[in-house]
Structure 1
């Protein structure tokens, strides 16, 4: 069973169509612009000023073993 709108309902909705579309555009642009601003702001953050402590060879080998074991389990 197909339900269609009557001509009276279509005429009643017609004056609100443009206003609804403008509202839709405004309510879409605002969150999208906030998202893009946040993305660009966070994307230019660099961590060059954070010192990285040097690791000895034993710690590097241990970390590599843990990484390989995790990779084999399918975690990465």
Structure 2
């Protein structure tokens, strides 16, 4: 049963025979329309979800306080020191 030879396949190359191609031909257009519909719906859901989840405006109303040059230099120094310690491990 599962290993029976199909009359619609060439036993040497396993390609479809001309009879199989003729049998499938009337359904090709409808199958492609169905494929396009399924891809369109799933792609639409994916894009909608992607755009909905990437609206990251949670902190847009929170003002960012200005930082002076001394604080920035200190933070950079601490970061470089932390980076060196992490890389040396």
TM-score by length of structure 2 reads 0.50
Match among 7, 29, 33 for residue 40 of structure 2: 29
Please say which structure displays the higher CA radius of gyration: 2
Which residue in the other structure is 1:53 paired with?
A: none
CA–CA distance in structure 2, aligned partners of residues 72 and 21 of structure 1:
55
Q: What 5-or-longer segments of structure 1 have no aligned partner?
A: 51-64
Moved over 6 A (4+): none
CA–CA distance in structure 2, aligned partners of residues 40 and 13 of structure 1:
39
Q: What 5-or-longer segments of structure 2 have no aligned partner?
A: 1-11, 63-77
Match among 8, 19, 22 for residue 19 of structure 2: 8
> Mean Cα displacement is larger for which, 24-33 or 34-43?
34-43
Which residue in the other structure is 2:60 paired with?
A: 48
CA–CA distance in structure 1, aligned partners of residues 38 and 23 of structure 2:
24
The count of corresponding residues between Structure 1 and Structure 2 is 69
TM-score by length of structure 1 reads 0.57
SS for the counterpart of 1:48 is coil
